[in-house]
Amino acid sequence: MDTIFMIPQKKLLAIISFLFLSFLINFNTASAQDAEKLFKQNCAVCHSLGKNKVVGPGLEGVGSRVPNDAWLAKWIKNNVEVLKSGDAYAAKIFAENNKGSMTVFADLKDNEITALIAYIKNPPKPKEEAVKSSGSAAKEEEKGVNPLAVLIGIIGFLVIIIGVLRGVRHTLQNLQNEKEGKPEEDAIGPWKEIKNWMAFHKRTVAVIALFLLGGVLSATWDGLMGIGVYEGYHPTQPIAFSHKIHAGDNAINCQYCHSGVERSKTAGIPTVNVCMNCHKGISKGPVTGTAEIAKIYEAAGWNAEKGIYDKPQKPIEWVKVHNLPDFVFFSHQQHVKVGKQECASCHGDVKVMTTVQQMKPLTMGWCIDCHKKTEVPGMKDNPYYESLHKKLAEKYKGQPITVDKMGGIECAKCHY
């Protein structure tokens, strides 16, 4: 009887273990090669997936512009080496982009670069386009099979089979005990059998316990690391101000509204008077008509019919999107004025956004990675730091002088 029921159960347990481990391996591999995440972490600071130029050129159609994928992989890995080799196409795009050096991504693995190139050449459709897609395509996507759900379903089915087989075995064993006149204490049940199994398989129990403990600790660690990280945060604002229309379509400079960005720690939120500089004469928007601009008039106390301020004023309660902890020092002036960083480096390409959302994680690790990759501008044309720059050039001969080489990752620079 034991032979009939125990062998299938062992096989089923082996199958479940194999499926679970396969899922973990595949899941980890997929996470390591997440091309979208790689793009956001390494490329989105300077490039958009469309035609718009951020710091570097837009990447739409890049596959047809470059010589081939192998060349593109070398360029991403180390553009400095490609330029030094005398490559004609490299020299051409270097000159077209004001001779600005791209970050060297020597740490990226070959399979990550391959996945990144595939993602750039075939980026996902924007949400707006996905909504406009045909109804049949949307239905097919809704009906798509979720591999994780299938795996969980299979494991659940196998667990049920094991439970049924064990139930049958318990019943038959108890009937046999009763027939043989054995006392009730010898009758077996699921819990008693589990205790007996654990008593004779202490090493296996210890391994399983360690495995479960590791999983719990890992999940706890991931949860704690996610506290205060608001990547993707997209709050509803009191006025549907569109950066796409203002900064993108109408090419209004960011500093016109955020005037403190070059001379203050904070970029600043524009007052309603700044809005009224234009909207005294523009009362209708291309998308929302008069509805949103009317909210500006209400806040400013502006009477559009009479053309005078004759109403009570009230503040616009904007919702802050990008928040840093109180123990972190960050200066917009230092990054924009001195470091020559584009707004998109931290805020994403706001020129294509309607209402702004947080595009970067803004974690300490993300900042440190940026400081390790970003070269210090003005190394040759800043007489104030001429002596320091000369010493750095001698110390790191032949290497790009990045922010971390000037103390950009010292704790006291941001925490004091």
Residue 69 belongs to domain with CATH number: 1.10.760.10
Is residue 81 a part of any domain in this protein? yes
pLDDT by 10s per residue, the chain, length 416: 444 344 455 555 555 565 555 555 454 443 434 778 777 777 876 777 887 776 678 888 888 888 898 888 888 888 888 888 888 888 888 888 777 667 777 778 888 888 888 888 888 765 444 444 444 433 444 445 567 677 788 888 887 887 788 777 777 777 777 787 776 555 556 677 778 778 888 999 999 999 999 989 998 998 898 888 888 899 999 999 999 999 998 999 999 999 999 999 999 999 999 999 999 989 999 999 999 999 999 999 999 999 999 999 999 999 999 999 999 999 999 999 989 999 999 999 999 998 899 999 999 999 999 999 999 887 777 777 788 888 988 999 888 899 999 899 999 999 97
Q: Give residue 133's pLDDT.
A: 42
Is residue 149 a part of any domain in this protein? no
Q: Give residue 387's pLDDT.
A: 87
Contacts of 231 (CB under 8 A, 6+ apart): 358, 359, 360, 361, 362
Q: Give residue 126's pLDDT.
A: 54
Nearest to 100 by CA among 150, 57, 41, 149: 57
Is residue 60 a part of any domain in this protein? yes
Question: What's the domain range around 65?
Answer: 35-124
Domain boundary among 124, 155, 189: 124
Is residue 77 a part of any domain in this protein? yes
Domain boundary among 124, 142, 163: 124
Q: pTM higher than 0.85 for the full model?
A: no
Domain boundary among 75, 108, 124: 124
Backbone angles phi, psi at 287, to 5 degrees: -115, -50
Per the listing, tokens 């720059």 go with: 389
Is residue 67 a part of any domain in this protein? yes
Is residue 99 a part of any domain in this protein? yes
Q: Give residue 55's pLDDT.
A: 67
Q: Give residue 301's pLDDT.
A: 95
End-to-end CA distance of the chain: 72
Is residue 9 a part of any domain in this protein? no
Is residue 79 a part of any domain in this protein? yes
Q: Give residue 89's pLDDT.
A: 87
Q: Give residue 62's pLDDT.
A: 85
Domain count, the chain: 2
Positive/negative CA dihedral, 42, 45, 50, 54? negative
Q: Give residue 76's pLDDT.
A: 87
